[in-house]
Structure formats: C-alpha cells, structure tokens
Amino acid sequence: MVTFAYANGKKNDPEFIKIKEQLESLQPDKLITENYTSGTNNNIELNKLISHLRKGEKLILYSLESSGRTARQLISLINLLTERGVEIEIIKEGWKTSDHKGQVIAEFSKSLVDLDGRLKQLAIQSGLSKSKKKAGRPGGTYNKENARIAALLYSQKRPIKEIMKAAGIKSKRTLYEYLDIEGVKLRSRRKE
C-alpha cells in the first residue's frame, strides 16, 4: 500500500513544523507539504494528490481542517476517496476508514451525499424536463464522480477550463448542470 501524508500551514509556524514531524513519524511513502501565506489557501498540491489517488492507496491528514474545505466539501471528499478504495486516516480526530469507527463515518458521509444528490435531482428534474421539452433536446447522462470532482474544484475557485479538463467534462452547459445537481453556489460567469 502506497501511503501519502499531507500537511499545510505557514512555513515557519511551530505548530505546522510539529504537525509535519508527527506525520513524518508515521513513515509515509511521500509527505506532501504546502505552505501558504495569509489570505491564500488553495491547496493546489492536495488537489493534485486527490486527483491521482487510486484504490489501495492511503491518505493521512493531520486534521480535517488541513484540507481547508467546508463541511459539505469534506463529506464529498471522504465519499469520493472511499468509493475509489482509498484509505483515509485523520490523526487529530482519531479515525481511519480501515477501522469500525471510520467505516461508520464513511458510510454516514456516503448516505448524506447520496441523500443530498437525490433531493437535488428531484428538485431540478421537473425544471430540466420542462426546459428539454421546450428546447426539444434529448436528455444526457450524469457522471457522479466527474460531478463531484467538478464541484470540489469549482468551490476552490479553480478556472473553468481546468475544472472541465480535470473532470472530463466537454461543455460548460454540462459543467453547470453538474454543479447545480451537486448544490454548488455558482459564482458570476462574467469573470470566467
């Protein structure tokens, strides 16, 4: 099993140094650190890592906050990685998806994401069917994993072209439909 550990913080902050040392003591195959300055926390290296993690690999975070995400994004992230077969360990919160407590948390997260997705799909389904009838276009397909990746990157204010490429989405219309289904609040399109 390939193990990755991730930490972010201010370069010379004693707390950040302590977290890095604690993660190093776990002897991961690769420790990825990301320095940020006040007002910036884009987690570029974490995003790259997440997009490349595969079944049988392990991600160790010191704490959930280290990913710099909202609760909804964290739930989606946990669900995305566990569906891929990636083991997750959170040191500060004291759980990992390989033990019973972590499995319960992962299953609960999956249930919340699934419920949220179903509710949103039902809510927009009637609107979409009405617009399709008006436009006379056939319905498309929905790729849940691509939608989650797109939602995660969009909420981190990544450029639209980068999101579309990373998520394998070919049109902006599809991207915005996926974001709508995932419940992402849209920013102004003029700036993109």
pLDDT at 136 over 60: no
CA distances to 22, 52, 67, 118, 163 from 107, rounded to whole Å, are 28, 23, 20, 16, 27
Q: How many Å apart are CA 84 and CA 11, to the nearest integer?
A: 32
Q: Which of 27-31, 82-86, 129-133, 167-171 has the highest mean pLDDT?
A: 27-31
92 shares its domain with 136? no
| Residue ranges making up the domain that contains 122 | 117-191
| Choice between 117 and 24, residue whose per-residue pLDDT is larger | 24
98 shares its domain with 176? no
- Per DSSP (E only), the strands in the chain are 3-9, 30-35, 58-61, 87-90, 95-96
The total of structural domains in the chain comes to 2
pTM of the predicted protein model: 0.57
Give the percent of the chain with pLDDT over 90: 26
CB-based contacts of 164, cutoff 8 Å, min separation 6 = 150, 170, 172, 175
Q: Is residue 108 part of a domain?
A: no
Contact 152, 76 (CB under 8 A): yes
**End-of-domain residue from the set 103, 131, 155:** 103
State both tokens at 159.
């450029």
Q: How confident is the model at residue 20 (pLDDT cuts 50, 70, 90)?
A: very high
pLDDT at res. 107: 77
Q: What integer best gives the mean pLDDT of the chain?
A: 82
**End-of-domain residue from the set 81, 103, 125:** 103
Orientation of helix 71-84 relative to helix 144-155, angle to 10°: 140
80 shares its domain with 17? yes
